[in-house]
Structure 1
Amino acid sequence: MENFKLGVRASWITVGINFALGTFKLFAGIVGHSYAMIADSLHTLSDVFTTFLVLMVLSISAREANDEEPVYKKYLAALEKLLGIILILMGSYLAYTCSRLLIFGGMSKPSIIALIAAFISIAIKEIMYWYTINISRKIKSISMEKDAWHHREDALSSIGTFIAILVSILGLVSLDVIAGVAVSIVVIKVGRNLYNKGNEKYEAKIDEDEIILNLEIIVKETPGVQGIKSIRSRIFNERMYVDLEIFVDPDISVREGHDIAKALQYRIESEFKSIKHTMVHIVPNNK
């Protein structure tokens, strides 16, 4: 549970930073007359949407099963489709605007504020990479590790934006608009993926019973585990979320129990690709 809370807290920090960064980049792009920066800001804000949706999924998965769960899933699917449509429309409009400028002219040279915003974006995204990768290693979360590498990819994308704006300021104005088209296409792709995800049927396409049986074997084989108290699971968006209670020696230290839980969580999420997240609870074996 401690690892779960740490991961959620890190995700909320990511949402806050991305929202602030995306808003600043949008302002800098508009004021600085840089279409590349405007498109890059939409890309950053799309990360806010996707991370927020992940947090909603984790919140639903942490609830006790009840009759309202399908309703939550239905609302989440509708929200994913809505956000996907918004990103597709915004990306398409920006790509259309940039294309018209390339064809008919009227481009203006970006100002220094757009270049500064691109540099700040590179620095912040790199810091976010190191922050997230350290958290992922601490809680042994594969999903957070993937999120960390996504920050690194964003930093590299911002380097491309920085170069395009710099070259435009130096004289080749069209490069900023070309970069705006390229990043707009990325935003459209993110929106399309969100829409398709929301359009999927939230029905199980995996054999939950078979996975639970294999899961029990792995848990019992794990050093330090003396038994299983309970295994609860649910399937959401074709991925499993597992809540596991295991018995351990009551005389071991808290740190030893914590290490057993971390090792088990990492092994489960590494070996079962259909399991999105695992929460491992330690229970003293007083029998």
Structure 2
Amino acid sequence: MNRTRTAIRTTYYSLATNLVLAVIKGLAGFFGNSYALIADAIESTTDVFSSLLVLFGLTYAKRPADKNHPYGHGKIEPLITFIVVAFLVTSATVIAYESIQNIQTPHELPQPWTLLVLGAIIVWKELSYRIVIKKSKQTHSSVLRAEAWHHRSDAITSITAFIGISIALFLGKGFETADDWAALFASGFILYNSYLIFRPALGEIMDEHRYDDLMLQIRKISLEVEGIKGTEKCYIRKAGMYYHIDLHARVDGNISVTEGHDLAHQLQDRLKQKVSGIGHVLIHIEPYTT
């Protein structure tokens, strides 16, 4: 439950950050004649809704296991991640369309002070990324990882806006659309980032094996239990913030069923004690003969 509380608190931070920045970017873009900033505001607005979805997903995922969900409700996390990705793709499409329209329409140069706003936003968003990605690693939350990458993509799109506005201001008349081109480039980056977020979530839904390091750790710890002679099959799947383990352990084939049963429980206890984020552990005993 500590993991869930940490993830929920982090999501509240993201929600507040995105809400404040959406307002700041929108106002700065409107009064500063910068569509790159307005495009950034559009992305931050979609981030507000995605943060609400993340909050819902984390709250739902903390429900305890029940008769219909014996492994808990953690699979809601990658499902929410898919919806978050859909928000990102939608915002990228809107930004690209509006950028193309603005490129074709004459308009004034952006105001120089918009660069100061963007500079502050870039620093703020990069710090937010570092905070949230650290919490996602602590909690093993895929949806929180997606939330972190929202902050990083926002920082990078702000960098492209900064470059575009700088070009427009430095080169002057005839380069008014430089920040629109920057927004168009940013939309492409958002789409690419959407794939990076989508791919791990898809693997989690499909129970794809992506946990070689954890598997090696489990095999090593298993040999620390007296009576465990080795391991065979090891299957790992992730649901929410927890890893569920199916492990075949080898024991002396001459011991009793009761002794084998006791060894299985000792191994379960050792794994849960030593490995962070372990959920269900199923041990299948195999006979070991010399």
Q: What interval of TM-score do these two structures reach, taking the shorter chain for normalisation?
A: 0.5 to 0.7
User: Is 1:61 paired with 2:75?
Assistant: no
Measured in 2, the distance between the counterparts of 1:279 and 1:11 equals 23
Please name the residue that 1:91 is paired with.
Answer: 92
Q: Give the letter for the 1:25 counterpart.
A: K
Q: Look up the SS of the partner of 2:275 in the other structure.
A: helix
1:184 aligns with 2:187: yes
Q: 1:241 to 1:41 in 2, by over 3 A?
A: same
Aligned equivalents of 1:191, 1:166: Cα separation in 2: 27
Q: Give 1:161's aligned amino acid.
A: A
The answer to which structure has the higher helix fraction is: 1
Point out where structure 1 has 5 or more consecutive residues left out of the alignment: 223-232, 249-259, 266-276, 281-287
- After superposition, what is the alpha-carbon deviation per residue over 1:226-273, rounded to whole angstroms, capped at 9, x for unaligned? xxxxxxx9965xx673489x869xxxxxxxxxxx96x621xxxxxxxx
Q: Are the aligned partners of 1:26 and 1:37 in contact in 2 as well (CA < 8 Å)? A: yes
Report how far residue 218 of structure 1 moved.
Answer: 4.4
Go from structure 1 to structure 2 and tell me whether the alpha carbon gap of 1:279 and 1:48 turns closer, same or farther (over 3 Å shift). Answer: farther
Q: Does 1:167 align with 2:167?
A: yes
Task: Indicate if the aligned counterparts of 1:22 and 1:41 stay in contact, CA closer than 8 A.
Answer: yes
1:27-86 Cα offsets, whole Å, 9 max, x none, are 3223322121122223334444444444433333321234776xx999999977776666
Kept in 2: contact 1:26–1:38 (CA 8 A): yes
Q: Which residue of 1 aligns with 2:252?
A: none
**What SS does the aligned partner of 1:116 have?**
helix
1:239-254 to 2 correspondence within 5 Å?
241-242=242-243
Query: Secondary structure of the residue that 2:183 maps to in structure 1?
Result: helix
Amino acid paired to 2:120:
I
**What percentage of aligned pairs have identical amino acids?**
24
Instruction: Report the Cα offset of residue 279 of structure 1.
Output: 6.8
TM-superposed deviation, 1:9: 1.0
Please give the alpha-carbon distance, in whole angstroms, between the structure 1 residues aligned to 2:16 and 2:223: 40
Q: 1:163 is aligned with what amino acid?
A: I
Amino acid at match of 1:179: A
Structure 1 residues 142-221: aligned runs within 5 Å: 151-152=151-152, 154-170=154-170, 171=172, 172-187=175-190, 218=221, 221=224
Task: Summarize the Cα distance change of 1:120–1:94 in structure 2 as closer, same or farther, 3 Å threshold.
Answer: same
Output the CA distance in 1 between the equivalents of 2:130 and 2:203: 33
Displacement after TM superposition at 1:178 (Å): 0.4
Q: Which residue of 2 aligns with 1:284?
A: none
**Deviation at residue 131 of structure 1 after TM alignment:** 3.3
Please state whether the residue corresponding to 2:242 is helix, strand or coil.
Answer: strand
How many residue pairs end up in the alignment? 240
CA distance in 2, matches of 1:100, 1:59: 40
**Partner Cα separation in structure 2 for residue 4 and residue 219 of structure 1:** 28
Find the counterpart in structure 1 of residue 275 from structure 2.
264
Alignment-derived partner of residue 9 in structure 1: 9
Q: 2 CA distance for matches of 1:21 and 1:77?
A: 26
RMSD (Å) for aligned C-alpha atoms: 5.0
- The one-letter amino acid of 2:17's match is I
1:28-47 equivalences in 2 (<5 Å): 28-47=28-47
Post-superposition offset of 1:181:
1.2
C-alpha distance 216-20 of structure 1, shift in aligned 2 (>3 A): farther
